[in-house]
Amino acid sequence: MPASRRHHRALAVFVHCLGILAAVPALPTVAPKPATPAATAPGAAPPQGSLRAAAATMAPTPTDTATPTGTATPAAPAPPPLVSPSVIVPTRGAPSAVTVAVTPAGTPAPGYQVQVRNASSMPVATTVRQELPPGTSATWVTPGGRTSRSATTTEVTWQLRLPPRSTTTLHTALTTAAPGRALSAPACAFAAGGDRPYDCATATWDRSPVPVAQATNAPAWRRPAALLAALAGVFLLTAGGLWWWQRHRRAGATAASTGGRTGSGGAGNRPAGAGTVYAGTGAGSSGTAPAAAPGQGGQPRPVAPVAVARRRRPPVWLLVGAAAAVLAGVVLAATLTATRRVAAIDTTKQPSTGAWVGHSTTGVIGVPLREQALEFTVYRIACPSTPSTAGRQCQATVGVRNLTPEQQTWHGEMQRAYLPGGTWVSADEAATRLANQGRDVFGQPLAAGSRLVLPLVFTVDGTDRPRQLELRSGVFSAGVRVDVP
């Protein structure tokens, strides 16, 4: 055989072997059957194939991990199948093992009870922070709490280690200079040594609840409807009186004119210019006889004057008075309506609250505020004392609840922080994703009825602290505004 053919055959065999080796990993693996005790006689050596199978089962695979005792742990389960990019899975928020509940204390002075529950079967280390309302100070806290003050906020911090399936109750008593004011104090449980929140809750202490409002009517001169009704009544009474007076006057004039012409029918009683009719006597029933001439036996009869009725027109002063009354009523109603509308204008609203869908709501930290679709609650906002080279990152702990029966989408560009100078910045999505351990909170919609507690990061320049947060669900939603102390 020529040398060239031998080389070609050797190359073909080599390529064929490579194809077989490449196809072997794609073949399904069959688990080896373990040898039963009956298949091996006592004292006899096991077959060679069973030894190789046992060695293969004992050899660790890349997905197995060997324990110190020499036993192999089972391999990790296969990953779930990939979801089609066209299918959007809304975010529901996994239930946290640590939950927080805050209730106001029934005491004359402001006070709160914070219940922190660990529902897991393992102990959890957590940091509980309760932000106190502005203008208050803590008079007593549960032992272990530490009160810290800054230029704008005061908060109480506990470092706790929660036993498995346990509930820990913390107490806080406050003092305030305005006893009649409602006070909201939110509390959050964070991961130990970090700012990742497990759960947050809030409560409002109000010692003097507002009684049922008793509507007190405004004075009559401040009610447009009452004023218009009074003017209409005066106008009707005036018109009725004038009509009665004119009718009475006309009847008197008619009676006077007819009374002067009553009496005998002689010539002396006739008015000047009245004509005379002579009644003649007829010769028979034929009636062919002419009427008698004057002085020939006929009796003269005066002709009754015919009164010509002249059309009466309302006097000019009546028309002018009625027009003036109607004009005064219209001007007064327009003035009152315009005054009320101008007084109802809120000059503190931002320019971004134009003709949006729904009504805008403004509140403080720790108060749930609802807009068109979502309910927002700002529990805490913290800014570092000194800005870094990339800017100052203020982190707000926000609770978002979807109260609608359908999923809702919200965007990071619509969440804003307003600075004292009037400028605003949107949420820093990259920093927010980093604070949420790599999860994009704006990438997926919120499921119906779900609730999330998450940090939002705003990067601001300078040392100014945001004075207001603006949160909204959609582009055309009016949103909510939270005043930052």
Could you tell me which residues are beta bridge partners of residue 167?
117
Domain ranges (residues) in the chain: 98-205, 361-483
The CA distance from 141 to 319, in Å, is 79
Q: Left (φ > 0), alpha (ψ -120 to 50) or beta: where does 327 sit?
A: alpha
Whole-angstrom distance between the N-terminal and C-terminal Cα of the chain? 97
Could you tell me which residues are beta bridge partners of residue 115?
101, 169
DSSP H or E segment with residue 233: helix 224-259
Q: At 214, which amino acid appears?
A: Q
Per-residue pLDDT band for 58 (boundaries 50, 70, 90) equals: very low
- Fold of the 98-205 domain: Immunoglobulin-like (2.60.40)
Strands 136-141 and 166-176: antiparallel
Helix (H/G/I), strand (E/B), else coil: 57: helix
pLDDT above 70 for 118: yes
Residue 161 has a CB neighbour count (10 Å cut-off) of: 11
Residue 66 vs residue 342, higher pLDDT: 342
pLDDT above 60 for 82: no
pLDDT at position 304, please?
59
pLDDT tens-digit series, residues 185-204: 999 999 987 778 999 999 99
State percent of the chain over pLDDT 70.
63
Most confident of 41-50, 345-354, 467-476: 467-476
pLDDT at position 318, please?
72
pLDDT tens-digit series, residues 283-306: 444 444 454 445 455 566 665 565
**Ranges assigned E (strand) in 35-142:** 98-104, 111-118, 124-132, 136-141
Residue 475 vs residue 103, higher pLDDT: 103
**Ranges assigned E (strand) in 163-312:** 166-176, 183-184, 187-191, 197-201, 204-205, 276-279, 299-302
The CA distance from 342 to 242, in Å, is 41
Per-residue pLDDT band for 41 (boundaries 50, 70, 90) equals: very low
Helix (H/G/I), strand (E/B), else coil: 302: strand
Architecture of domain 361-483: Sandwich (2.60)
pLDDT above 50 for 251: yes
Token digits of residue 83: 């979801």
pLDDT above 90 for 100: yes
pLDDT at position 201, please?
94
The average pLDDT across 257-282 equals 51
The CA distance from 189 to 197, in Å, is 6
Please, where are the H alpha helices in 25-80?
48-58
pLDDT at position 8, please?
65
Sequence-ordered list of residues with C-beta below 8 angstroms from that of 310, at least 6 positions apart, any chain:
none
Largest CA distance in the chain: 186
pLDDT at position 141, please?
93
pLDDT at position 356, please?
61
Per-residue pLDDT band for 216 (boundaries 50, 70, 90) equals: low
With helix as H, strand as E and coil as C, how does 325-366 read? HHHHHHHHHHHHHHHHHHHCCCCCCCCCCCCCECCCEEEECC
DSSP H or E segment with residue 246: helix 224-259
pLDDT at position 328, please?
80
pLDDT above 60 for 143: yes
Angle at which helix 316-343 crosses helix 224-259, to 10 degrees, equals: 180
Residue 207 backbone dihedrals phi, psi, to 5 degrees: -70, -35
pLDDT at position 329, please?
78
Per-residue pLDDT band for 139 (boundaries 50, 70, 90) equals: very high
Per-residue pLDDT band for 389 (boundaries 50, 70, 90) equals: low
Lowest mean pLDDT among 15-19, 80-84, 207-211, 423-427: 80-84
The average pLDDT across 146-150 equals 89
Residue 23 has a CB neighbour count (10 Å cut-off) of: 9
The CA distance from 351 to 360, in Å, is 12
**What is the average pLDDT value for the chain, to the nearest integer?**
74
pLDDT at position 38, please?
42
DSSP H or E segment with residue 323: helix 316-343
The average pLDDT across 392-399 equals 92
The average pLDDT across 342-360 equals 56
pLDDT above 60 for 64: no
pLDDT tens-digit series, residues 303-328: 556 555 555 666 777 777 778 877 88
pLDDT above 90 for 347: no
Residue 449 vs residue 353, higher pLDDT: 449
pLDDT at position 384, please?
81
Residue 176 has a CB neighbour count (10 Å cut-off) of: 17
pLDDT tens-digit series, residues 152-181: 788 999 999 999 999 999 999 999 877 778
